[in-house]
Amino acid sequence: MENLNRYSQSAFKYGIIGLLLLINVFLYSSLFQKIQYSLESNFKIFDEIIGVLSLTTIIIGIIGFIKSMKGLKEPNTPKKIIGLIINSGITILFIAIIITVIARLTMYFDSIQ
């Protein structure tokens, strides 16, 4: 017998993993910021670690969002709703970051001319 909620369950797993990664990004960024200020140094490795974690979170969130969209026709379960909310939130956060970066780049290049 085939699992009826395979996309929803998979999206839920991706959502939980994405949420945990997002929490790690926030915790590590605040921790690394305090370490950099206390050492009065500029370690680029901290920025690279945060960047890799952020990129992984975005990829996991988008994959989970796609799985959530594929699972919309499946029966409603709490896992389906939670996975859809978490993955949608991560995807919206990613889109907002892209829009912010584009807006700042536009303002920067307008100020140069």
Whether 1 is in a domain gets the answer: no
The boundaries of the domain holding residue 29 are 6-112
Q: Tell me the per-residue pLDDT of 12-42, one tens digit each, with 9 for 90 and over.
A: 999 999 999 999 999 988 888 777 777 766 6
The tally of domains found in the chain comes to 1
Q: Which long-range contacts (CB under 8 A, 24 or more apart) does 38-42 make?
A: none
Q: What is the pLDDT of residues 90-104, one digit of tens each?
A: 999 999 999 999 999
Task: Please indicate, yes or no, if residue 36 is contained in any of the structural domains.
Answer: yes
Whole-number Å distance between alpha carbons of 58 and 108: 26
Tens-digit pLDDT profile for residues 39-71: 766 677 788 888 899 999 999 999 999 999 999
Is residue 78 situated within a structural domain?
A: yes
